[in-house]
Structure 1
Amino acid sequence: MVRDMVDEGGNWDWHRLLQLVPKESLEHIASIHPPYDSLGEDRPQWRWEPNRQFSSQSAYMFLNTVMTVGQRDIWKRIWKLHVPQRVRVFAWLSFHERLLTNVERVKRHCAAMDLCEICMNGSENIDHVLRLCIAAAGIWRRIVPHALREIFFNLLFRDWLTRNLFDSTFVRSDED
């Protein structure tokens, strides 16, 4: 039971969870409030059916409507990358803007402000973390050839990520 993973103080029992759940899943668990007795019995529900019961048809409809043809292509391309599995998962989560940034924490009521704690200048979304924050931008300026910087920093996030993942000429040059 999920309720068994909560300590006496009503918080997640991280010691116990670490023994049972992969570390990669803990960030997702951290974004979910622990169950409280006042909320009623703990039971699984399927959010894409009005009666909250899972059906293959609703799963198929959800996947078919949410994932456009372009996204299916990206999905296939990401999972065919010759990189460690954790890099593929990171790329997939980044593309879908599902990393637990401060913007996501605020949406889930786990943080009060979405401000970037590194630069204190702008909302900490995935684009900010990977490209626009002064810390990230400083690294990119050392790697990206001067002639490509304008397009590099002005592309829409998903276009930028796609080019970085699949266009090897995007940041490479004959420069040191």
Structure 2
Amino acid sequence: MELNPSWDMDKLEAIVPRDELWKFTDNFKIKPTVSDRPIWPTGKGNAFSVKSGYLLASSLRSSHEASTSVDDSELWNWVWGLEVIPKVKLFLWKCLSGSLPTAQALVSRSVELQPWCRRCGEEMESIEHAIRDCSWAAFLWEISPLRLTPVNQSDPWNVKVWVERIRSIPDKEVHNLFASLCWACWYAQNLCLSG
């Protein structure tokens, strides 16, 4: 058997997330001049140990946490610095961290209920649908002082991208109104649940 010193990236991408590929290909190099045997690059003598596995996993996790916390720290400061009531700030934080109990999220956690929007019944109730894409929410955004038009469904933004675009507008009043309207959409969505 002839060794190929490069990774089969198509197959590797199928099992390793794209943003983690570099860690894989940099840490586990194929050396065609060495006989084929399992090695563990972080262990003593290239042998695996629980300690070396734990240290590698810890370093990968801490580097991932550091990169996400650095990326999001400005966003979180912006959320907590809004001049709105605390429940709106908490709501927006839950939106951005994917913690809202939408029907889609509850179904994914094995809660037995219909995942469809309780207001329009047209799509699954995701965070984006509840506060932006539902026909009722889209109408609210169009008639609001912000005059936001519905997002092109062929290129839907996730809520984080949408918030980042609003954040780029240098007007604190726009930011506060945006956060309050997001909360109002969610509140109205939940009124459908209670009747």
Going from structure 1 to structure 2, the CA distance change for 1:152 and 1:88 (only over 3 Å counts) comes to: farther
1:124 maps to what in 2? Answer: 125
Q: Which range moved further: 134-143 or 124-133? A: 134-143
TM-score, normalization by structure 1: 0.52
Question: Pairwise mapping of residues 22-171 of structure 1 onto structure 2 (< 5 A)?
Answer: 61=62, 64-65=65-66, 67-143=68-144, 144-145=146-147, 149=149, 155-164=157-166, 167=169, 168=171
What letter is aligned with 1:111? E
Partners of 1:72 and 1:152 in 2: CA distance: 29
Structure label with greater radius of gyration: 2
**Which amino acid is 1:72 matched to?**
S
Shift of 1:161: 2.1
CA contact under 8 A between 2:128 and 2:158: conserved in structure 1? no
Equivalent AA in structure 1 for residue 102 of structure 2: T
CA shift at 1:130, angstroms? 0.3
Q: Which protein has greater RCO, CA pairs closer than 8 Å, 6+ apart?
A: 2
How far off its partner does 1:63 sit? 7.9
Q: May I ask how many residue pairs the two structures share in their alignment?
A: 113
Residues 136/108 of structure 1: CA separation in 2 closer, same or farther (3 Å cut):
same
Task: Output one character per residue of 1:52-71: Cα deviation in whole Å (capped at 9) or x when no partner.
Answer: xxxxx89x939825734221
Using the TM superposition, give the Cα deviation of residue 88 of structure 1 relative to its aligned residue in structure 2, in angstroms.
Answer: 1.1
Q: What does the per-residue CA deviation read over 1:95-133, in whole Å, with 9 as the maximum and x for residues that have no partner?
A: 122110000110111134311111111110000000000
Q: 1:8-66, CA deviations, whole angstroms, 9 ceiling, x for partnerless residues? A: xxxxxxxxxxxxxxxxxxxxxxxxxxxxxxxxxxxxxxxxxxxxxxxxx89x9398257
Q: Is the 8 A contact 2:80 2:89 kept in 1?
A: yes
Q: Percent of aligned positions with the same letter in both sequences?
A: 23
**Unaligned stretches of 5+ in structure 2?**
1-57, 179-195
For each residue in 1:114-161, what CA deviation from the matched residue of structure 2 results, as whole angstroms up to 9, or x when unmatched? 11111111110000000000110111111243xx62668854421212
Report the structure, 1 or 2, having the larger helix content: 2
Q: TM-score, normalised by structure 2?
A: 0.48
Structure 1: stretches of 5+ with no match in the other structure: 1-56
Tell me if structure 2 keeps the 8 A contact 1:152–1:160.
no
Corresponding residue of 2:12:
none
